[in-house]
């Protein structure tokens, strides 16, 4: 197994045609940033599309350009790894609405200024339309599989449901077919934190940034802190932090980060502002909240898969309370009702929702086996 | 196929029509499903409680759902497969009668195999020792066995007749050999029934 860093430059596709959106508008001059690994075979049937999560990007194995950290799924993707780049041509594209190279609210609008809040509200299906446009440009008619965790799983479900001829299989990890009231609630807290920050300026903070302002960093950090709690399990938090104090012997009777968990969350919030655009956070969380695959198909989830012939595999984690096992089972029952071949397993892992990104050997076996 | 499979599974594998669709409830590590897929071209789906077994099945390329026969069969449509299969699992369910009804709702036919509690070795063990048998057939002591509803072949026959379920085939196994239907309740270690709703 080669562990040498993969240095492929990410690529950018500029779409020739406007991208139609669920909101009724269409978006012209869309750019989609992506990276590929492994060789596309002559039959062009060994492509695996990996869909990233809310704050993820297309740097699935290459180093992140801003943080320098390794790609977000290096443990899963690479030569000899469960998503084996010796077998598969792996494609990972940045979703539209994001800020990592694909067109989003920080990108220039036709008037040359950043879109800001003039950017149209997008949906998960719109993100998938972007992916399909990329597949068209790459000449890939049908994927070997589409794979995604969390919001990536929503894209995988949406692609399998809405573009059934485009994939032979879908692997959906720690995800859901619709956002629950609780999911929407946590996102709304994050959005309100951003929009309550005086540096947000109704989303028009980019120019201010050039003259010294930094955008709604405080609000974005709070949004990230709130969301980060939902990615971890109570058990994981207790094990990792408990009530331990941060670099001190006693409580200070003040509002410093006395507890390790406070210090950790503040660090998570702060480091996030250096790599993510606040408006992108608003738009992508909105897209997730709007996601309800059943609603898009007459209220019955099984109908969403009526035209699909794909194989499906769903994986949930027992400590994930963001998208609990019941959400995966809901999808499984719909796929059963549609008569499609589906596998499902709830894996035991201590890390909560984030388990899909972490060291869970059982997940590796399922992913490798399914593909 | 027989050499690799447990004897009751080999009986089922031999009797399934090539190309049939089937749901294996309590499919374990997927040995039967894999054999039927590879050697008879069957469209095999499975349900299994143990996540490690589900992962083993997925690794074989099988479509298996982690689920509980007592709760999760309700989500399968009526007559969605040619065969619903329940091997060595009936006696571990909360309500074997309801599971049996579900099998016959989902499958056009159902294979059911189970260990026969009235096998002579078990009877003797209970008679002489006055304790729950721990035998070759039932190797686990009462307090940790997954078998919560022990049954005999005659018990099962009585349930079938009470529910007006048709027997389309029956096989009785003792070690490596077969025994007759009349002697089965005493001599058979395992029974395999092929059932339908007439």
- pLDDT score of B4: 77
Instruction: Kindly report the number of other CB atoms within 10 A of residue A348's CB atom.
Output: 12
Tell me if B48 is assigned to some domain: yes
Q: Provide the residue range defining the domain that includes A211.
A: 183-284
Chain B partners of A362 at a C-beta cutoff of 8 Å? 51-52, 55
Tell me if B142 is assigned to some domain: no
Tell me if B127 is assigned to some domain: no
- pLDDT score of B184: 94
- pLDDT score of A5: 45
Chain A partners of B45 at a C-beta cutoff of 8 Å? 341
CB B8 within 8 A of CB B34: no
- pLDDT score of A127: 98
Q: Which residue has the higher pLDDT, A3 or B59?
A: B59
Instruction: Kindly report the number of other CB atoms within 10 A of residue B130's CB atom.
Output: 7
Q: Provide the residue range defining the domain that includes B90.
A: 7-116+147-196
Mean pLDDT split into 10-residue runs, chain A, 371 residues? 50 95 95 96 96 95 88 95 96 96 94 94 97 96 97 98 97 97 97 96 80 81 96 92 91 91 94 94 97 93 94 96 96 92 93 92 92 93
Q: How far apart are the first and last CA of chain B?
A: 30
The phi and psi torsions of B16 (rounded to 5 degrees) equal -70, 135
Q: Give me the residue label for tokens 């990792």.
A: A240
Give yes or no: residues A15 and A105 share one domain: yes
Domain count within chain A: 2
CB A331 within 8 A of CB A294: no
In terms of CA atoms, which chain B residue is nearest residue A311?
B63
Q: Indicate which residues of A carry an active-site annotation.
A: 150, 320, 353
Tell me if A122 is assigned to some domain: yes
How sure is the predictor about B3, in pLDDT bands with cuts at 50, 70 and 90? low
> A224: annotated binding-site residue?
yes
Boundary residue ending a domain (A284, A301, A328): A284
> Inter-chain contact A345–B58, Cβ cutoff 8 Å?
yes
Domain count within chain B: 1
Boundary residue ending a domain (A284, A305, A335): A284
Quote the minimal CA–CA distance from B48 to chain A in Å: 9
Residue-averaged pLDDT of chain B: 93
Give yes or no: residues A58 and A127 share one domain: yes
> Inter-chain contact B77–A336, Cβ cutoff 8 Å?
yes
CA neighbor of A304 nearest in space, from A172, A159, A176: A159
Token pair of A21, please?
């959106």
> Inter-chain contact A337–B58, Cβ cutoff 8 Å?
no
> pTM of the full predicted structure?
0.90
- pLDDT score of A65: 85
> Inter-chain contact B61–A346, Cβ cutoff 8 Å?
no
Q: How many whole angstroms separate alpha carbon B166 and alpha carbon B196?
A: 5
Tell me if B128 is assigned to some domain: no
Give yes or no: residues A187 and A175 share one domain: no
Classify residue A155 by burial, with Cβ atoms within 10 Å: 0-12, 13-18, 19+: buried
Tell me if A1 is assigned to some domain: no
- Where residue B50 sits, what CATH number does that domain have? 3.40.50.150
Tell me if A38 is assigned to some domain: yes
* B75 touching chain A per CB within 8 A: yes
- Where residue A136 sits, what CATH number does that domain have? 3.40.50.1820
Tell me if B125 is assigned to some domain: no
* Residue A345: strand pairing partners: A315
Tell me if A4 is assigned to some domain: no
Which residues of A fall below an 8 Å CB-CB distance to B?
A: 311, 313, 332-333, 336-337, 339, 341-348, 362, 365-366, 368-370
pLDDT at B138 over 70: yes
Chain B partners of A336 at a C-beta cutoff of 8 Å? 65, 75-77
- pLDDT score of A159: 98
Task: Report CA-CA distances (Å) from A78 to A74, A170, A287.
Answer: 7, 19, 30
Give yes or no: residues A169 and A28 share one domain: yes
Quote the minimal CA–CA distance from B50 to chain A in Å: 9
Q: No. of H helices and E strands in chain A?
A: 11, 12
Give yes or no: residues A52 and A156 share one domain: yes
Tell me if A6 is assigned to some domain: no
Which of A336, A342, A346 lies closest to B51 in CB terms?
A346
Give yes or no: residues A171 and A188 share one domain: no
Tell me if A42 is assigned to some domain: yes
Give yes or no: residues A169 and A225 share one domain: no
- Where residue A224 sits, what CATH number does that domain have? 1.10.1740.110
Give yes or no: residues A33 and A18 share one domain: yes
Give yes or no: residues A86 and A189 share one domain: no
Tell me if B95 is assigned to some domain: yes
- pLDDT score of A337: 87
Give yes or no: residues A216 and A120 share one domain: no
Tell me if B133 is assigned to some domain: no
Q: What value does the mean pLDDT take over residues B158-177?
A: 94
- Report pLDDT digits (tens) over B72-107: 999 898 999 999 999 999 999 999 999 999 999 999
Boundary residue ending a domain (A237, A257, A284): A284
- pLDDT score of B128: 94
Give yes or no: residues A261 and A131 share one domain: no
pLDDT at B135 over 90: no
**Interface predicted TM-score of the whole assembly (ipTM), two decimals:** 0.82
DSSP H or E stretch at residue A311: strand A311-317
Give yes or no: residues A53 and A170 share one domain: yes
């Amino acid at each position: 197994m080669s562990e040498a860093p993969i240095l492929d430059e990410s690529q950018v596709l500029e779409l020739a045609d406007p991208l139609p959106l669920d909101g009724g508008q269409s978006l012209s001059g869309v750019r989609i940033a992506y990276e590929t690994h492994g060789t596309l075979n002559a039959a062009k049937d060994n492509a695996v599309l990996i869909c990233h999560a809310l704050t993820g990007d297309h740097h699935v194995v290459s180093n992140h350009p801003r943080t320098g950290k390794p790609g977000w799924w290096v443990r899963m993707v690479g030569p000899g790894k469960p998503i084996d780049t010796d077998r598969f041509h792996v494609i990972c594209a940045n979703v539209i609405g994001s800020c990592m190279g694909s067109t989003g609210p920080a990108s220039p609008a036709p008037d040359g200024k950043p879109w800001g809040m003039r950017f149209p509200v997008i949906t998960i299906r719109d993100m998938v339309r972007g992916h399909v446009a990329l597949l068209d440009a790459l000449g890939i008619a049908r994927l070997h599989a589409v794979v995604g965790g969390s919001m990536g799983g929503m894209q995988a479900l949406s692609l399998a449901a809405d573009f059934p001829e485009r994939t032979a299989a879908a692997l959906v990890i720690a995800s859901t077919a619709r956002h629950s009231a609780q999911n929407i609630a946590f996102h709304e807290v994050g959005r309100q934190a951003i929009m309550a920050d005086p540096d947000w300026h109704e989303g028009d903070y980019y120019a201010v940034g050039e003259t010294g302002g930094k955008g709604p960093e405080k609000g974005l950090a709070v949004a990230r802190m709130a969301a980060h709690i939902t990615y971890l399990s109570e058990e994981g938090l207790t094990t990792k932090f408990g009530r331990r104090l941060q670099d001190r012997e006693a409580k200070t009777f003040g509002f410093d980060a006395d507890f390790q968990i406070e210090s950790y969350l503040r660090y998570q919030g702060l480091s996030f502002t250096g790599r993510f655009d606040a408006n992108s956070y608003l738009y992508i969380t909105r897209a997730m909240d709007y996601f309800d695959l059943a609603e898009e198909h007459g209220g019955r989830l099984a109908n969403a898969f009526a035209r699909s012939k794909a194989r499906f595999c769903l994986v949930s984690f027992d400590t994930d309370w963001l998208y609990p096992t019941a959400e995966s089972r809901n999808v499984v029952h719909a796929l059963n009702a549609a008569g499609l071949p589906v596998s499902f397993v709830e894996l035991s892992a201590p890390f909560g929702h984030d388990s899909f990104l972490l060291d869970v050997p059982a997940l590796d076996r399922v992913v490798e086996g399914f593909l | 196929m027989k050499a690799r499979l447990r004897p009751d599974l080999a009986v089922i594998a031999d009797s399934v029509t090539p190309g049939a669709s089937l749901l294996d409830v309590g499919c374990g590590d997927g040995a039967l499903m894999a054999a039927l897929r590879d050697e008879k071209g069957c469209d095999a789906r499975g349900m299994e409680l143990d996540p490690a077994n589900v992962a083993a099945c997925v690794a074989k390329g099988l479509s298996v759902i982690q689920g509980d026969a007592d709760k999760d069969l309700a989500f399968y449509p009526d007559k969605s497969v040619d065969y619903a299969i329940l091997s060595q699992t009936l006696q571990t369910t909360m309500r074997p009668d309801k599971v049996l009804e579900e099998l016959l709702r989902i499958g056009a036919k159902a294979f059911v195999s189970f260990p026969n509690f009235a096998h002579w070795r078990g009877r003797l063990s209970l008679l002489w020792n006055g304790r729950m048998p721990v035998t070759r057939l039932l190797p686990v002591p009462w307090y940790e066995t997954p078998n919560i509803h022990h049954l005999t072949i005659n018990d099962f026959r009585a349930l079938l007749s009470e529910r007006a379920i048709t027997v389309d085939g029956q096989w009785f196994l003792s070690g490596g050999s077969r025994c007759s239907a009349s002697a089965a309740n005493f001599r058979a270690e395992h029974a395999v029934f092929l059932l339908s709703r007439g």
